A and B are shown apart, each in its own frame.
Chain A
Amino acid sequence: MQSLLRFLGSTVGAKFLMALTGVLLALFVVGHLSGNFLLYKGQDAMNDYAEMLQGLGPALWIVRLGLLAVFATHIYYGIRLKRRNAAARPVNYAHEDTIQASFASRSMILTGLVVLAFVAMHLAHFTLGWLDAEAYDLKQTVQRDGQPFERHDVFGMVVAGFHNDVFVILYAFAMVVLGLHLSHGLHSLFQTLGFRHPAYTPWIERIGRGLAWVLAVGFLSIPLAVRFGFIAAAGGGDAG
Protein backbone atom coordinates (compact mmCIF):
# COMPACT_ATOMS: atom_id res chain seq x y z
CA MET A 1 0.00 0.00 0.00
CA GLN A 2 2.76 2.37 0.98
CA SER A 3 4.58 1.61 -2.24
CA LEU A 4 1.44 2.36 -4.24
CA LEU A 5 1.01 5.71 -2.50
CA ARG A 6 4.67 6.53 -3.07
CA PHE A 7 4.30 5.56 -6.72
CA LEU A 8 1.29 7.84 -7.19
CA GLY A 9 3.01 10.68 -5.36
CA SER A 10 6.02 10.60 -7.71
CA THR A 11 6.25 12.48 -11.01
CA VAL A 12 6.55 9.25 -12.98
CA GLY A 13 3.64 7.61 -11.15
CA ALA A 14 1.40 10.66 -11.54
CA LYS A 15 2.09 10.72 -15.26
CA PHE A 16 1.31 7.01 -15.42
CA LEU A 17 -2.09 7.71 -13.88
CA MET A 18 -2.67 10.57 -16.34
CA ALA A 19 -1.95 8.20 -19.21
CA LEU A 20 -4.15 5.43 -17.83
CA THR A 21 -7.12 7.71 -17.19
CA GLY A 22 -6.42 9.39 -20.54
CA VAL A 23 -6.76 6.05 -22.33
CA LEU A 24 -10.05 5.32 -20.59
CA LEU A 25 -11.39 8.78 -21.43
CA ALA A 26 -10.28 8.37 -25.02
CA LEU A 27 -12.09 5.01 -25.22
CA PHE A 28 -15.21 6.73 -23.93
CA VAL A 29 -14.79 9.44 -26.56
CA VAL A 30 -14.59 6.78 -29.30
CA GLY A 31 -17.69 5.02 -27.95
CA HIS A 32 -19.61 8.26 -27.60
CA LEU A 33 -18.84 9.25 -31.18
CA SER A 34 -19.95 5.87 -32.52
CA GLY A 35 -23.25 6.35 -30.71
CA ASN A 36 -23.61 9.87 -32.03
CA PHE A 37 -23.18 8.66 -35.60
CA LEU A 38 -26.60 7.01 -35.27
CA LEU A 39 -27.94 10.54 -35.76
CA TYR A 40 -27.04 10.07 -39.42
CA LYS A 41 -29.19 6.94 -39.52
CA GLY A 42 -32.23 8.83 -38.36
CA GLN A 43 -34.65 9.47 -35.55
CA ASP A 44 -35.63 5.87 -34.77
CA ALA A 45 -32.11 4.51 -34.72
CA MET A 46 -30.90 7.27 -32.40
CA ASN A 47 -33.85 7.09 -30.05
CA ASP A 48 -33.74 3.27 -29.89
CA TYR A 49 -30.12 3.52 -28.84
CA ALA A 50 -30.87 6.18 -26.22
CA GLU A 51 -33.74 4.12 -24.86
CA MET A 52 -31.53 1.07 -24.68
CA LEU A 53 -28.93 3.03 -22.67
CA GLN A 54 -31.60 4.36 -20.30
CA GLY A 55 -32.91 0.82 -19.95
CA LEU A 56 -29.58 -0.32 -18.53
CA GLY A 57 -30.64 1.24 -15.21
CA PRO A 58 -28.11 0.60 -12.45
CA ALA A 59 -25.48 -0.57 -14.96
CA LEU A 60 -25.65 2.83 -16.63
CA TRP A 61 -25.06 4.50 -13.30
CA ILE A 62 -22.09 2.30 -12.50
CA VAL A 63 -20.51 3.25 -15.81
CA ARG A 64 -21.34 6.93 -15.25
CA LEU A 65 -19.83 6.99 -11.78
CA GLY A 66 -16.76 5.13 -13.01
CA LEU A 67 -16.35 7.64 -15.80
CA LEU A 68 -16.76 10.49 -13.35
CA ALA A 69 -14.05 9.03 -11.10
CA VAL A 70 -11.71 8.60 -14.07
CA PHE A 71 -12.39 12.14 -15.25
CA ALA A 72 -11.89 13.60 -11.77
CA THR A 73 -8.61 11.70 -11.35
CA HIS A 74 -7.34 12.90 -14.71
CA ILE A 75 -8.21 16.51 -13.85
CA TYR A 76 -6.84 16.35 -10.31
CA TYR A 77 -3.52 14.93 -11.40
CA GLY A 78 -3.38 17.22 -14.43
CA ILE A 79 -3.70 20.32 -12.28
CA ARG A 80 -1.28 18.96 -9.70
CA LEU A 81 1.34 18.21 -12.35
CA LYS A 82 0.93 21.62 -13.91
CA ARG A 83 1.44 23.35 -10.56
CA ARG A 84 4.48 21.27 -9.75
CA ASN A 85 5.97 21.99 -13.16
CA ALA A 86 5.35 25.72 -12.88
CA ALA A 87 7.01 25.72 -9.44
CA ALA A 88 10.07 23.93 -10.87
CA ARG A 89 10.92 27.06 -12.88
CA PRO A 90 10.18 30.09 -10.72
CA VAL A 91 12.03 32.53 -13.02
CA ASN A 92 11.36 32.37 -16.75
CA TYR A 93 13.81 33.08 -19.54
CA ALA A 94 13.96 36.65 -20.79
CA HIS A 95 14.37 35.20 -24.27
CA GLU A 96 12.23 32.08 -24.33
CA ASP A 97 12.33 29.74 -27.31
CA THR A 98 11.00 26.34 -28.29
CA ILE A 99 13.04 23.87 -30.31
CA GLN A 100 10.47 21.29 -31.28
CA ALA A 101 7.66 20.94 -28.69
CA SER A 102 4.33 21.11 -30.48
CA PHE A 103 1.72 23.76 -29.73
CA ALA A 104 -0.63 20.99 -28.59
CA SER A 105 1.90 19.63 -26.10
CA ARG A 106 2.49 23.07 -24.66
CA SER A 107 -1.19 23.80 -24.11
CA MET A 108 -2.39 20.54 -22.52
CA ILE A 109 -3.64 22.15 -19.31
CA LEU A 110 -5.38 24.91 -21.25
CA THR A 111 -7.05 22.57 -23.74
CA GLY A 112 -7.91 20.23 -20.87
CA LEU A 113 -9.66 22.97 -18.92
CA VAL A 114 -11.59 24.06 -22.02
CA VAL A 115 -12.73 20.45 -22.47
CA LEU A 116 -13.80 20.43 -18.80
CA ALA A 117 -15.84 23.60 -19.30
CA PHE A 118 -17.32 22.09 -22.42
CA VAL A 119 -18.29 18.87 -20.64
CA ALA A 120 -20.08 20.92 -17.95
CA MET A 121 -21.97 22.86 -20.60
CA HIS A 122 -22.72 19.75 -22.62
CA LEU A 123 -24.20 17.93 -19.61
CA ALA A 124 -26.30 20.98 -18.70
CA HIS A 125 -27.44 21.13 -22.30
CA PHE A 126 -28.35 17.59 -23.33
CA THR A 127 -28.18 15.45 -20.18
CA LEU A 128 -29.84 17.70 -17.65
CA GLY A 129 -31.77 19.94 -20.03
CA TRP A 130 -31.04 23.15 -18.16
CA LEU A 131 -29.97 25.20 -21.14
CA ASP A 132 -32.72 24.36 -23.63
CA ALA A 133 -35.72 22.96 -21.73
CA GLU A 134 -37.98 23.15 -24.77
CA ALA A 135 -35.79 20.87 -26.86
CA TYR A 136 -35.10 18.61 -23.89
CA ASP A 137 -38.81 17.99 -23.34
CA LEU A 138 -39.45 16.80 -26.93
CA LYS A 139 -41.12 13.38 -27.12
CA GLN A 140 -41.35 10.81 -29.86
CA THR A 141 -44.46 8.65 -30.08
CA VAL A 142 -43.84 5.10 -31.27
CA GLN A 143 -46.10 2.06 -31.53
CA ARG A 144 -45.33 -0.50 -28.86
CA ASP A 145 -47.51 -3.68 -28.72
CA GLY A 146 -50.06 -1.86 -30.80
CA GLN A 147 -50.20 0.94 -28.24
CA PRO A 148 -48.85 4.47 -28.72
CA PHE A 149 -45.79 4.91 -26.49
CA GLU A 150 -44.04 8.19 -25.65
CA ARG A 151 -40.29 8.32 -25.25
CA HIS A 152 -37.56 10.91 -24.92
CA ASP A 153 -36.76 12.30 -28.40
CA VAL A 154 -32.96 12.56 -28.29
CA PHE A 155 -32.79 13.00 -32.05
CA GLY A 156 -35.25 15.90 -31.97
CA MET A 157 -33.43 17.46 -29.04
CA VAL A 158 -30.10 17.49 -30.89
CA VAL A 159 -31.65 18.82 -34.08
CA ALA A 160 -33.50 21.56 -32.20
CA GLY A 161 -30.42 22.28 -30.09
CA PHE A 162 -28.18 22.93 -33.08
CA HIS A 163 -30.60 25.31 -34.67
CA ASN A 164 -29.11 27.74 -32.21
CA ASP A 165 -25.91 29.11 -33.79
CA VAL A 166 -24.40 29.95 -30.41
CA PHE A 167 -24.36 26.25 -29.55
CA VAL A 168 -23.02 25.29 -32.98
CA ILE A 169 -20.08 27.65 -32.52
CA LEU A 170 -19.40 26.62 -28.91
CA TYR A 171 -19.48 22.91 -29.77
CA ALA A 172 -17.34 23.36 -32.87
CA PHE A 173 -14.74 25.32 -30.90
CA ALA A 174 -14.68 22.75 -28.10
CA MET A 175 -14.16 19.90 -30.56
CA VAL A 176 -11.15 21.60 -32.17
CA VAL A 177 -9.72 22.03 -28.66
CA LEU A 178 -10.37 18.36 -27.88
CA GLY A 179 -8.60 17.49 -31.14
CA LEU A 180 -5.55 19.45 -29.97
CA HIS A 181 -5.58 17.76 -26.55
CA LEU A 182 -5.73 14.33 -28.11
CA SER A 183 -3.24 15.12 -30.89
CA HIS A 184 -0.57 15.19 -28.16
CA GLY A 185 -2.22 12.88 -25.65
CA LEU A 186 -2.90 9.89 -27.89
CA HIS A 187 0.76 9.31 -28.66
CA SER A 188 2.33 10.84 -25.55
CA LEU A 189 0.66 8.17 -23.43
CA PHE A 190 2.74 5.44 -25.07
CA GLN A 191 5.96 7.11 -23.93
CA THR A 192 4.50 7.55 -20.44
CA LEU A 193 3.61 3.89 -20.26
CA GLY A 194 7.17 3.10 -21.29
CA PHE A 195 6.65 2.04 -24.88
CA ARG A 196 9.14 3.50 -27.31
CA HIS A 197 10.55 1.76 -30.35
CA PRO A 198 12.53 3.13 -33.29
CA ALA A 199 10.22 1.57 -35.89
CA TYR A 200 6.82 1.85 -34.18
CA THR A 201 7.02 5.20 -32.42
CA PRO A 202 6.92 7.37 -35.57
CA TRP A 203 3.78 5.47 -36.60
CA ILE A 204 2.23 5.76 -33.16
CA GLU A 205 2.73 9.52 -33.41
CA ARG A 206 1.20 9.71 -36.88
CA ILE A 207 -1.75 7.49 -36.02
CA GLY A 208 -2.31 9.25 -32.70
CA ARG A 209 -2.48 12.64 -34.35
CA GLY A 210 -4.60 11.32 -37.19
CA LEU A 211 -7.05 9.62 -34.85
CA ALA A 212 -7.31 12.78 -32.74
CA TRP A 213 -8.41 14.81 -35.73
CA VAL A 214 -10.69 12.07 -37.07
CA LEU A 215 -12.49 12.11 -33.71
CA ALA A 216 -12.65 15.90 -33.59
CA VAL A 217 -13.97 16.17 -37.15
CA GLY A 218 -16.44 13.35 -36.49
CA PHE A 219 -17.96 15.15 -33.52
CA LEU A 220 -17.80 18.48 -35.27
CA SER A 221 -19.68 17.14 -38.27
CA ILE A 222 -22.86 16.70 -36.23
CA PRO A 223 -23.67 20.31 -35.26
CA LEU A 224 -22.62 21.35 -38.77
CA ALA A 225 -24.75 18.66 -40.43
CA VAL A 226 -27.76 19.80 -38.42
CA ARG A 227 -27.07 23.46 -39.03
CA PHE A 228 -26.82 22.96 -42.78
CA GLY A 229 -29.79 20.64 -43.00
CA PHE A 230 -28.14 17.27 -43.62
CA ILE A 231 -29.66 15.94 -40.43
CA ALA A 232 -33.26 17.13 -40.15
CA ALA A 233 -36.38 16.23 -38.20
CA ALA A 234 -38.49 13.65 -40.09
CA GLY A 235 -40.84 15.27 -42.59
CA GLY A 236 -39.67 18.69 -41.43
CA GLY A 237 -36.33 19.43 -43.03
CA ASP A 238 -36.62 22.91 -41.56
CA ALA A 239 -32.96 23.80 -41.54
CA GLY A 240 -31.84 27.15 -40.12
Chain B
Amino acid sequence: MSQGNMRLKLHIWRQKGASAPGAMKTYEVTANEHMSFLEMLDVLNQELIEKGEEPVAFDHDCREGICGSCNMVINGHPHGPQRGTTACQLHMRTFKDGDEIFVEPWRARAFPIIKDLVVDRTAFDRIIASGGYVSVNSGSAPDANEILIGRDDAEEAFEYAACIGCGACVAACKNASAMLFTAAKFAHLEKLPQGQVESDRRAVEMVMQHDAEGFGACTNQYECEAACPKEISVTSIAMLNRAYRRAALSSKS
Protein backbone atom coordinates (compact mmCIF):
# COMPACT_ATOMS: atom_id res chain seq x y z
CA MET B 1 0.00 0.00 0.00
CA SER B 2 1.46 3.33 -1.03
CA GLN B 3 2.56 6.04 1.35
CA GLY B 4 -0.22 7.37 3.61
CA ASN B 5 -2.94 5.16 2.15
CA MET B 6 -5.36 3.35 4.37
CA ARG B 7 -7.97 0.69 3.81
CA LEU B 8 -11.16 1.45 5.71
CA LYS B 9 -14.39 -0.33 6.44
CA LEU B 10 -17.32 2.11 6.45
CA HIS B 11 -20.75 1.50 7.91
CA ILE B 12 -23.04 4.14 6.45
CA TRP B 13 -26.73 4.84 7.00
CA ARG B 14 -28.57 4.47 3.68
CA GLN B 15 -32.13 5.66 3.29
CA LYS B 16 -33.73 6.40 -0.07
CA GLY B 17 -36.19 9.03 1.12
CA ALA B 18 -37.99 10.58 4.05
CA SER B 19 -40.48 7.76 4.52
CA ALA B 20 -38.35 4.90 3.13
CA PRO B 21 -36.88 2.43 5.61
CA GLY B 22 -33.16 2.83 6.20
CA ALA B 23 -30.30 0.58 7.27
CA MET B 24 -26.57 0.61 7.93
CA LYS B 25 -24.62 -0.64 4.90
CA THR B 26 -20.99 -1.68 4.82
CA TYR B 27 -18.45 -0.46 2.26
CA GLU B 28 -14.69 -0.70 1.83
CA VAL B 29 -12.64 2.17 0.54
CA THR B 30 -8.99 3.16 0.22
CA ALA B 31 -8.30 6.70 1.41
CA ASN B 32 -5.20 8.80 1.82
CA GLU B 33 -4.27 10.53 5.04
CA HIS B 34 -4.13 13.91 3.29
CA MET B 35 -7.79 13.72 2.31
CA SER B 36 -10.55 15.32 4.27
CA PHE B 37 -13.37 13.13 5.48
CA LEU B 38 -15.63 14.44 2.72
CA GLU B 39 -12.99 13.74 0.07
CA MET B 40 -12.84 10.19 1.31
CA LEU B 41 -16.62 9.98 0.82
CA ASP B 42 -16.16 11.50 -2.66
CA VAL B 43 -13.80 8.62 -3.50
CA LEU B 44 -16.35 6.12 -2.25
CA ASN B 45 -19.12 7.80 -4.23
CA GLN B 46 -17.05 7.78 -7.42
CA GLU B 47 -16.57 4.04 -7.00
CA LEU B 48 -20.28 3.56 -6.35
CA ILE B 49 -21.19 5.55 -9.46
CA GLU B 50 -18.78 3.50 -11.55
CA LYS B 51 -20.42 0.34 -10.27
CA GLY B 52 -23.81 1.74 -11.17
CA GLU B 53 -24.86 2.13 -7.52
CA GLU B 54 -26.50 5.12 -5.89
CA PRO B 55 -23.86 7.43 -4.30
CA VAL B 56 -24.15 8.35 -0.63
CA ALA B 57 -26.05 11.61 -0.25
CA PHE B 58 -24.47 14.07 2.18
CA ASP B 59 -24.76 17.84 2.57
CA HIS B 60 -21.73 20.02 1.91
CA ASP B 61 -21.05 23.46 0.59
CA CYS B 62 -18.07 25.55 1.69
CA ARG B 63 -15.77 22.70 2.75
CA GLU B 64 -13.94 25.22 4.87
CA GLY B 65 -15.83 24.92 8.14
CA ILE B 66 -18.08 27.93 7.92
CA CYS B 67 -21.38 26.95 6.31
CA GLY B 68 -22.40 24.20 8.71
CA SER B 69 -23.85 21.83 6.16
CA CYS B 70 -21.45 18.86 6.21
CA ASN B 71 -23.36 17.12 8.94
CA MET B 72 -22.71 13.53 9.90
CA VAL B 73 -22.10 11.56 13.06
CA ILE B 74 -18.77 9.76 12.81
CA ASN B 75 -18.23 6.94 15.29
CA GLY B 76 -20.82 8.44 17.60
CA HIS B 77 -19.35 11.96 17.49
CA PRO B 78 -20.98 14.74 15.45
CA HIS B 79 -18.37 15.90 12.88
CA GLY B 80 -16.02 13.16 14.09
CA PRO B 81 -13.56 12.74 16.92
CA GLN B 82 -11.59 15.99 16.63
CA ARG B 83 -12.73 18.86 18.83
CA GLY B 84 -13.71 22.16 17.25
CA THR B 85 -13.68 20.73 13.72
CA THR B 86 -16.38 20.25 11.08
CA ALA B 87 -16.47 17.02 9.07
CA CYS B 88 -15.14 18.86 5.98
CA GLN B 89 -12.11 20.01 7.97
CA LEU B 90 -11.48 16.59 9.49
CA HIS B 91 -8.36 15.01 8.05
CA MET B 92 -8.19 11.30 7.38
CA ARG B 93 -4.91 11.22 9.28
CA THR B 94 -7.02 11.06 12.45
CA PHE B 95 -7.82 7.49 11.32
CA LYS B 96 -5.51 4.61 10.57
CA ASP B 97 -5.32 1.67 8.21
CA GLY B 98 -7.88 -1.01 9.02
CA ASP B 99 -10.23 1.29 10.98
CA GLU B 100 -13.97 0.72 11.00
CA ILE B 101 -15.96 3.93 10.78
CA PHE B 102 -19.66 4.41 11.45
CA VAL B 103 -21.27 7.30 9.58
CA GLU B 104 -24.82 8.26 10.53
CA PRO B 105 -27.16 11.21 10.07
CA TRP B 106 -28.12 13.59 12.90
CA ARG B 107 -30.74 11.75 14.93
CA ALA B 108 -33.61 13.90 16.16
CA ARG B 109 -37.35 13.93 15.67
CA ALA B 110 -37.10 17.61 14.74
CA PHE B 111 -34.52 16.81 12.00
CA PRO B 112 -36.30 14.38 9.68
CA ILE B 113 -34.05 12.54 7.22
CA ILE B 114 -34.32 13.66 3.60
CA LYS B 115 -31.92 11.08 2.20
CA ASP B 116 -29.01 9.03 3.57
CA LEU B 117 -27.00 11.52 5.71
CA VAL B 118 -28.99 14.60 4.72
CA VAL B 119 -31.48 15.90 7.26
CA ASP B 120 -34.00 18.73 7.16
CA ARG B 121 -32.85 21.47 9.54
CA THR B 122 -35.54 24.04 8.78
CA ALA B 123 -36.59 23.74 12.43
CA PHE B 124 -33.57 25.96 13.13
CA ASP B 125 -34.79 28.54 10.63
CA ARG B 126 -38.14 28.66 12.38
CA ILE B 127 -36.44 29.19 15.76
CA ILE B 128 -34.53 32.15 14.28
CA ALA B 129 -37.70 33.50 12.65
CA SER B 130 -39.49 33.34 16.00
CA GLY B 131 -37.20 35.90 17.61
CA GLY B 132 -33.53 35.51 16.71
CA TYR B 133 -33.28 38.92 15.08
CA VAL B 134 -33.37 42.63 15.95
CA SER B 135 -35.90 45.01 14.45
CA VAL B 136 -34.16 48.05 12.98
CA ASN B 137 -35.20 50.98 10.88
CA SER B 138 -33.73 50.51 7.46
CA GLY B 139 -32.94 54.13 6.75
CA SER B 140 -29.49 55.38 5.90
CA ALA B 141 -26.58 53.58 7.52
CA PRO B 142 -25.89 54.74 11.10
CA ASP B 143 -22.52 56.21 11.97
CA ALA B 144 -19.90 53.74 13.07
CA ASN B 145 -19.50 53.52 16.86
CA GLU B 146 -22.64 55.55 17.40
CA ILE B 147 -23.59 53.00 20.01
CA LEU B 148 -20.66 52.21 22.27
CA ILE B 149 -20.10 48.56 23.14
CA GLY B 150 -17.55 47.39 25.68
CA ARG B 151 -14.82 45.18 24.30
CA ASP B 152 -15.59 42.19 26.53
CA ASP B 153 -19.25 42.25 25.58
CA ALA B 154 -18.40 42.55 21.92
CA GLU B 155 -16.00 39.62 22.18
CA GLU B 156 -18.54 37.46 23.95
CA ALA B 157 -21.26 38.34 21.45
CA PHE B 158 -18.87 37.36 18.66
CA GLU B 159 -18.16 34.02 20.29
CA TYR B 160 -21.88 33.17 20.37
CA ALA B 161 -22.33 34.56 16.88
CA ALA B 162 -19.78 32.03 15.64
CA CYS B 163 -22.59 29.44 15.62
CA ILE B 164 -22.90 28.07 12.09
CA GLY B 165 -26.24 26.39 12.80
CA CYS B 166 -24.98 22.95 11.84
CA GLY B 167 -26.98 21.10 14.50
CA ALA B 168 -24.10 19.14 16.03
CA CYS B 169 -25.38 20.20 19.46
CA VAL B 170 -28.69 18.45 18.79
CA ALA B 171 -26.96 15.41 17.37
CA ALA B 172 -24.66 15.10 20.39
CA CYS B 173 -27.27 15.79 23.06
CA LYS B 174 -28.64 12.68 24.76
CA ASN B 175 -32.03 14.39 24.68
CA ALA B 176 -31.79 15.80 21.15
CA SER B 177 -32.18 19.25 22.71
CA ALA B 178 -31.38 22.32 20.63
CA MET B 179 -30.68 24.48 23.66
CA LEU B 180 -27.11 25.35 22.67
CA PHE B 181 -28.20 26.54 19.22
CA THR B 182 -31.17 28.47 20.60
CA ALA B 183 -29.11 29.95 23.43
CA ALA B 184 -26.21 30.96 21.15
CA LYS B 185 -28.63 32.73 18.81
CA PHE B 186 -30.24 34.39 21.80
CA ALA B 187 -27.02 35.29 23.60
CA HIS B 188 -25.19 37.00 20.74
CA LEU B 189 -28.03 39.54 20.63
CA GLU B 190 -28.45 39.68 24.40
CA LYS B 191 -24.86 40.84 24.77
CA LEU B 192 -25.40 43.88 22.55
CA PRO B 193 -27.42 47.02 23.29
CA GLN B 194 -29.40 46.56 20.08
CA GLY B 195 -30.58 43.20 21.35
CA GLN B 196 -31.79 44.44 24.71
CA VAL B 197 -34.94 46.09 23.42
CA GLU B 198 -36.67 42.88 22.36
CA SER B 199 -34.93 40.61 24.87
CA ASP B 200 -38.01 39.43 26.80
CA ARG B 201 -40.10 38.64 23.78
CA ARG B 202 -37.13 36.97 22.11
CA ALA B 203 -36.45 34.67 25.05
CA VAL B 204 -40.06 33.55 25.30
CA GLU B 205 -40.68 33.10 21.58
CA MET B 206 -37.44 31.26 20.87
CA VAL B 207 -37.90 28.79 23.73
CA MET B 208 -41.51 28.21 22.72
CA GLN B 209 -40.51 27.56 19.11
CA HIS B 210 -37.68 25.28 20.26
CA ASP B 211 -40.19 23.23 22.24
CA ALA B 212 -42.81 23.24 19.50
CA GLU B 213 -40.30 21.73 17.07
CA GLY B 214 -40.02 18.66 19.31
CA PHE B 215 -36.47 19.10 20.59
CA GLY B 216 -35.73 17.67 24.04
CA ALA B 217 -34.95 19.48 27.29
CA CYS B 218 -31.44 20.33 28.41
CA THR B 219 -30.17 18.17 31.28
CA ASN B 220 -26.84 19.95 31.70
CA GLN B 221 -24.56 17.22 30.41
CA TYR B 222 -22.72 19.60 28.05
CA GLU B 223 -22.25 17.07 25.26
CA CYS B 224 -23.28 19.94 22.96
CA GLU B 225 -20.40 22.18 23.98
CA ALA B 226 -17.93 19.33 23.52
CA ALA B 227 -19.31 18.50 20.06
CA CYS B 228 -19.73 22.07 18.78
CA PRO B 229 -17.29 22.72 15.91
CA LYS B 230 -17.21 26.36 17.04
CA GLU B 231 -16.83 25.38 20.72
CA ILE B 232 -19.67 27.63 21.83
CA SER B 233 -20.00 27.78 25.60
CA VAL B 234 -22.99 26.53 27.59
CA THR B 235 -22.75 29.84 29.44
CA SER B 236 -25.20 30.94 26.74
CA ILE B 237 -27.70 28.37 28.03
CA ALA B 238 -27.46 29.70 31.59
CA MET B 239 -28.06 33.17 30.13
CA LEU B 240 -31.15 31.99 28.26
CA ASN B 241 -32.47 30.12 31.34
CA ARG B 242 -32.19 33.33 33.32
CA ALA B 243 -33.72 35.56 30.66
CA TYR B 244 -36.54 33.14 29.94
CA ARG B 245 -37.47 32.85 33.61
CA ARG B 246 -37.52 36.61 34.02
CA ALA B 247 -39.44 37.21 30.81
CA ALA B 248 -41.95 34.37 31.06
CA LEU B 249 -42.85 35.02 34.68
CA SER B 250 -43.16 38.77 34.33
CA SER B 251 -45.06 38.71 31.05
CA LYS B 252 -48.43 40.44 31.18
CA SER B 253 -50.36 37.79 29.26
Q: Which residues of A contact B (CB under 8 A)?
A: 2-4, 6-7, 10-16, 81, 84-85, 87-102, 105-106, 108, 184, 188, 191-196, 198
Q: Please report the C-alpha to C-alpha distance between residue A193 and residue B225 in the assembled complex, in whole angstroms.
A: 19
Does residue B251 face the partner (Cβ distance < 8 Å to A)?
yes
Q: Return B246 CB to nearest CB of chain A, in Å.
A: 9
Assess whether B48 is interfacial by the CB under 8 Å rule: no
Does B102 reach chain A (CB closer than 8 Å)? yes
Is there an interface contact between B219 and A85, defined as CB atoms closer than 8 Å?
A: yes
With A12-B207, A85-B177, A85-B216: A95-B102 Cβ-Cβ less than 8 Å: yes
Question: Cβ of A95 and Cβ of B219 under 8 Å apart?
Answer: no
| Alpha-carbon distance A102/B226, docked complex (angstroms) | 13
Ordered by A's residue number, 16 sampled pairs between the chains whose C-beta atoms are within 8 Å are A3-B252, A11-B179, A11-B210, A87-B109, A88-B175, A88-B177, A88-B215, A88-B216, A101-B221, A101-B223, A191-B234, A191-B238, A191-B241, A194-B238, A194-B242, A196-B234
Residues of chain A within 8 A of B109, CB atoms compared? 87-90
Report Cα–Cα, A3/B247, bound state, in Å. 9
A3 to B242, CA, bound (A): 16
Interface residues of B in 221-241 (CB under 8 A from A): 221-223, 226-227, 234-235, 237-241
User: Does A10 lie within 8 Å of B248, measured CB to CB?
Assistant: yes
- C-alpha gap A159/B179 in the complex (Å): 49
Most chain B CB inside 10 Å of its own CB: which residue of A84, A108, A194: A194
Q: With A14-B217, A98-B223 given, is the CB distance from A6 to B248 under 8 Å?
A: yes
B178 shortest CB reach to chain A, Å: 9
Given that A7-B248, A88-B177 are contacting pairs, would A97 and B216 also be in contact in the complex, using a CB cutoff of 8 Å? Answer: no
Let me know if B211 and A85 touch, CB within 8 A: no
| Chain B interface mostly | mixed
**Does B107 touch A at the CB level, under 8 Å?**
yes
Other than the known A3-B253, A88-B177, A99-B77, what 15 A-B pairs have Cβ atoms closer than 8 Å?
A10-B211, A11-B217, A11-B218, A15-B217, A85-B175, A87-B109, A88-B215, A94-B13, A97-B75, A105-B219, A106-B174, A191-B238, A194-B238, A194-B245, A196-B239
**Contact between B210 and A91 (Cβ–Cβ < 8 Å)?**
no
A88 to B11, CA, bound (A): 24
B104: interface (CB < 8 Å): yes
Q: Which of B73, B177, B219 contacts A108 (CB under 8 A)? A: B219
The digit string for B57-91, where 1 denotes a CB below 8 A from any CB of A, is 00000000000000001011100000000000000
Question: B108 an interface residue at 8 Å Cβ cutoff?
Answer: yes
B234: which A residues are within 8 A, CB to CB?
A: 191, 196
> If A12-B240, A88-B176, A99-B172 touch, does A94 touch B104 (CB 8 Å cutoff)?
yes
A199 CA / B13 CA spacing, docked (Å): 43
**Binary flags per residue of B164-204, CB closer than 8 Å to A gives 1, else 0:** 00000000101111010000000000000000000000000
Q: Which of A87, A95, A184, A198 is in CB contact (< 8 Å) with B104?
A: A95
A190: shortest Cβ distance to chain B, in Å? 8
Q: Does B122 contact A (CB under 8 A)?
A: no
Decide if A95 touches B245 in the complex (CB within 8 Å).
no
Q: Which 7 residue pairs of A and B lie closest in terms of their CB atoms, listed nearest first? A: A97-B76, A194-B242, A88-B216, A95-B102, A85-B175, A196-B238, A11-B217
When distances are taken between beta carbons in the complex, the residues of chain B under 8 Å from A15 are: 217-219, 241
Asked if B24 is at the interface (CB within 8 A of a chain A CB), the reply is yes
Chain A residues with CB under 8 A of B73: 93, 95
Return chain B residues, CB-CB under 8 Å to A99: 77, 172, 223, 226-227
B243 neighbours in A (Cβ, 8 Å):
194
With A88-B110, A89-B175: A192-B223 Cβ-Cβ less than 8 Å = no
A13-B248 contact given A2-B253, A99-B172, CB 8 Å threshold: yes
- B76 lies within 8 A of A93 (CB): yes
User: How many Å lie between the Cα of A133 and that of B117 in the bound state?
Assistant: 62
Is B1's CB within 8 Å of the partner chain A?
no
**In the assembly, what is the distance between CA of A11 and CA of B219, in Å?**
10
Residues of A within 8 A of B108 (CB): 88-89
Docked-complex contact A100 and B13, CB < 8 angstroms: no
For B239, what are the chain A residues with a Cβ–Cβ distance below 8 Å? 194, 196
